[in-house]
């Protein structure tokens, strides 16, 4: 081939390659996963966020399963029901190393005229406080169908109330949970929480470390952000693994053999692809347990109490914190 023709062919190939790169579809996951949790929220010019106060006395306390009881044996006793979107797996993949920073002990709910307050208390695990590396949050089901529709997450909460470490996500096409909310739907391909909710004015959420307990994360969600519902369900998350809001519910995106299990007598033991994760059942607000059967709701008889500290401990730096809670 003459030299000029070769040059022409190479130019055409280069132009085709550039066009292919420009037209390639962008990954949607990268828009709303870990990158989206990085602190970038800013108030619009001239607009201030509605600020929370001190949380009132807790109205209800939800106790979650305690994985520390058998952590030395690299297993948990209960609380993990993969097919029902309930996870008790604060362990690393395969090696099953226990991660107390991801083990939810209790969750409180309180409220005032502007905010709902949630306190997620984690296992102190004998470490120094303020070393919470996971993503922590509250998921809401305002339609009472079992399908989550608002997810508020925080990462690296600070000592003071801040909006810089908070993110709120919504599901614009209603596919969180697949055809059967909370129940595993094999082969379902959705996009989960697909949009980050804008925070402005009174539509806002805040987070901080509890001033009374450095092993507890506090999240304040404004009534306006929740669109002032009279009834809803809520549950808590601690995620140090996938941290991908577009994959919720996780049990719709993988099967039990791929996910693994923290239960020793389960054929899928140990934990594999769904690791470093803990969540709770959902507690009703505005209506009583048992009056309405909703997927994911805490079963009647789950332990609910007014939480009190029954044992105080100290870190190596002599910082006092509550290391054991009980009920009145």
Q: What is the pTM of this model?
A: 0.81
Q: What does each C-alpha distance from 210 to 37, 48, 172, 217 come to in angstroms?
A: 20, 23, 32, 6
Classified as helix, coil or strand, 83 is helix
Which band of pLDDT confidence, cut at 50, 70 and 90, is reported for residue 288?
confident
Percent of the chain with pLDDT over 90: 69
Which band of pLDDT confidence, cut at 50, 70 and 90, is reported for residue 305?
very low
Given a contact cutoff of 8 angstroms between Cβ atoms, the answer to whether 55 and 110 are in contact is: yes
Given a contact cutoff of 8 angstroms between Cβ atoms, the answer to whether 191 and 245 are in contact is: no
Q: What is the DSSP string of 196-262?
A: EPP-BTTB-EEEEEETTEEEEEEEEEETTTTT--SSEEEEEEEESS---GGG-SGGGTS-HHHHB-S
User: Which residues sit opposite 91 in a β-bridge?
Assistant: 98
pLDDT at 6 over 60: no
Give residue 316's pLDDT.
57
What is the residue-averaged pLDDT of the chain?
Answer: 84
pLDDT at 262 over 50: yes
Given a contact cutoff of 8 angstroms between Cβ atoms, the answer to whether 324 and 123 are in contact is: no
Q: Would you state the structure tokens that stand for residue 283, as one six-digit string? A: 């507690």
pLDDT at 171 over 50: yes
pLDDT at 287 over 50: yes
pLDDT digits (tens, 9 = 90+) for 107-130: 999 999 999 999 999 988 755 555
Put residue 178 in one of left, alpha, beta given phi > 0 → left and psi -120 to 50 → alpha: left
Domain regions of the chain by residue span: 26-327
pLDDT digits (tens, 9 = 90+) for 22-56: 444 333 333 445 444 443 445 555 568 999 999 99
Given a contact cutoff of 8 angstroms between Cβ atoms, the answer to whether 253 and 82 are in contact is: no
Q: Which among 94, 91, 92, 122 has a CA at the least distance from the CA of 108?
A: 122
């Amino acid at each position: 081939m003459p030299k000029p023709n070769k040059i022409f062919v190479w130019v055409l190939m280069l132009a085709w390659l550039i066009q292919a790169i420009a037209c390639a579809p962008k990954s949607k996951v990268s828009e709303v996963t870990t990158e989206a949790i990085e602190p970038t929220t800013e108030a619009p010019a001239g607009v201030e966020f509605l600020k929370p106060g001190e949380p009132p006395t807790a109205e209800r306390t939800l106790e979650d399963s305690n994985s520390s009881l058998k952590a030395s044996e690299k297993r948990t006793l209960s609380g993990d029901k993969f097919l029902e979107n309930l996870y008790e797996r604060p362990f690393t993949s395969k090696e099953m190393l226990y991660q107390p920073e991801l083990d939810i002990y209790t969750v409180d709910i309180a409220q005032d005229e502007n905010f709902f307050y949630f306190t997620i208390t984690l296992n102190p695990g004998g470490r120094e406080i303020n070393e919470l590396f996971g993503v922590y949050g509250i998921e809401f089901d305002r339609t009472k169908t079992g399908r989550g529709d608002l997810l508020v997450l925080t990462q690296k909460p600070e000592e003071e109330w801040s909006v810089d470490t908070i993110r709120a996500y919504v599901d614009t096409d209603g596919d969180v949970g697949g055809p059967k909310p909370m129940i595993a739907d094999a082969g379902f391909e959705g996009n989960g929480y697909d949009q980050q909710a804008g925070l402005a004015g009174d539509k806002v959420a805040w987070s901080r470390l509890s001033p009374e307990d450095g092993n507890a994360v506090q999240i304040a969600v404004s009534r306006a952000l929740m669109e002032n519902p009279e009834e809803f369900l809520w549950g808590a998350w601690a995620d140090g693994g996938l941290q991908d809001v577009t994959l919720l519910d996780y049990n719709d995106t993988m099967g039990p053999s791929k996910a693994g299990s923290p239960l020793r007598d389960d054929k899928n033991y140990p934990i594999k692809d769904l690791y470093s994760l803990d969540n709770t059942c959902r507690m009703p607000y505005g209506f009583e347990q048992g009056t309405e059967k909703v997927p994911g709701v805490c079963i009647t008889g789950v332990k609910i109490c007014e939480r009190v500290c029954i044992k105080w401990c100290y870190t190596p730096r002599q910082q006092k914190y509550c290391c054991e809670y009980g009920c009145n």
